[in-house]
Amino acid sequence: MAPRSRTQQAGAAKADTSRSRGRATIRDVAEAAGVSIGTVSRALNARSGVHAVTRQRVMDAAMALAYDPDRAARELSNRRAVSVGLSMAHGYRRLTPFFALFLEQLSAHLAVSGLRVDDVPTGGDGLPAGDADAFVLLGAHPDDPRIGHLSAAQRPFVLVGRHPGVRCVAADDEAGGRLAAEHLLRLGHRDVVLVTGQPHAQAMADRARGFMTALADAGSAAPTRLVADDGSPLGAYRALRAHLEAGARPTAVFAASDEMATGCITAAGDLGLRVPADVSVVGFDDLPEIGVGLTTVRQDFEALARETVALLHEALRGEEARSVRLPVTLISRGTTAERR
């Protein structure tokens, strides 16, 4: 028998690991083949843009792992296309790096599961202005009318966020806020500013609560809280610049998203303050390109999409609702330093 190639050996190792923990996932196939999840999706669905050698490597990895997309969803899709409506809460920004990155990961996972994602607009009443077999809800907030509406209509849905009693998945935003505070406290910062987006948004509220709780637990003064209602870099820029122009000189800023962190860094620079020599800045998300060089709290977008799809399948099968909380990690880079 011919010796196994390194790729085959890696695939076999992955197969053993996968069998030991349950059914293989698209992520397992991607890791075994040494490619992205999107490439696996295109290869397994015979789409263009994948080199023949790469396609064969993906097929070999899938075979070694005994990879099989969710059977219930596939049976549904054999009868007709199963549509998943992507719904953003009314008044929330759609064209954001977070939304684009999550949608890319979500589409890749849905594609290999026999599900199709459709963008469903939201009406002025806050409800989806269209129908689908199931929904993914973005922009979680306490008074979200979509939750009661879809529950009453018996439409399966997954909330990307946190809400009691519903099927949902989210990064541990409160823990992330706490990590940001603890990092700044270790560096000696006590006069800090918190910059958030819409205060009623679940993610913003949780990140702020974790940050403020950690400061309070350490006996530190409460942070000055600034609000950029649209959560944009420009909104954060204006909020922090006005605060600094009024004479404030905080030694650190926690912005509840990487986008807002970039606005804060620009505002400080435009007023002659150096980052991190004069003011440290921490973001949240670890967005590609935007987060380069930024100290931030990283959330796993691929895991967020993977768990969203897993919960969708459970919803389509009529299983009991459950919630998933994903761990976050603080990544220390070049925008934070010890207080001088």
Q: What pLDDT digit, counting tens, does each position of 221-240 carry?
A: 999 999 998 899 999 999 99
d(CA 124, CA 129): 9
Q: Which CATH class is domain 173-299?
A: alpha beta
Mean pLDDT on 132-161: 94
The DSSP secondary structure of 193-237, one letter per residue, reads EEEES-TTSHHHHHHHHHHHHHHHHTTPPPPEEEE-TT--HHHHH
Q: What pLDDT digit, counting tens, does each position of 59-101 carry?
A: 888 878 877 655 444 444 445 568 899 999 988 888 888 888 9
Q: Which of 7-21, 30-44, 70-84, 240-254 has the highest mean pLDDT?
A: 240-254
319 vs 238, residue with greater confidence? 238
pLDDT at 246 over 80: yes
pLDDT at 45: 60
The superfamily CATH assigns to domain 6-64 is lambda repressor-like DNA-binding domains (1.10.260.40)
pTM: 0.77
pLDDT at 116: 83
Q: Which is it for the CA torsion 58, 59, 62, 65, positive or negative?
A: negative
H or E stretch including 59? helix 52-64
Query: Token digits for 228?
Result: 């950029």
Question: Could you tell me whether strands 329-331 and 295-298 are parallel, antiparallel, or unpaired per DSSP bridges?
Answer: antiparallel
pLDDT at 269: 97
How many helices (H) and strands (E) would you count in the chain? 12, 12
pLDDT at 80: 57
Q: What pLDDT digit, counting tens, does each position of 249-306 carry?
A: 999 999 999 999 999 999 999 999 999 999 999 999 999 888 789 999 999 999 999 9
Given this chain, do its domains 71-171+300-326 and 173-299 carry the same CATH topology? yes
Q: Sorting pLDDT into bands at 50, 70 and 90, what band is 55?
A: confident
pLDDT at 23: 64
Within 10 A of 165 (CB to CB), how many other CB atoms are there? 9
* 327 upstream amide cis, omega within 30 of 0: no
pLDDT above 70 covers a percentage of the chain that reads: 86
Angle of CA points 102, 141, 234, to nearest 5° = 65
Inter-axis angle of helices 52-64 and 26-33, to 10 degrees? Answer: 120
Q: For 71-171+300-326, CATH number?
A: 3.40.50.2300
pLDDT at 109 over 60: yes
pLDDT at 47: 58
Query: Could you tell me the residue ranges of all domains in the chain?
Result: 6-64, 71-171+300-326, 173-299
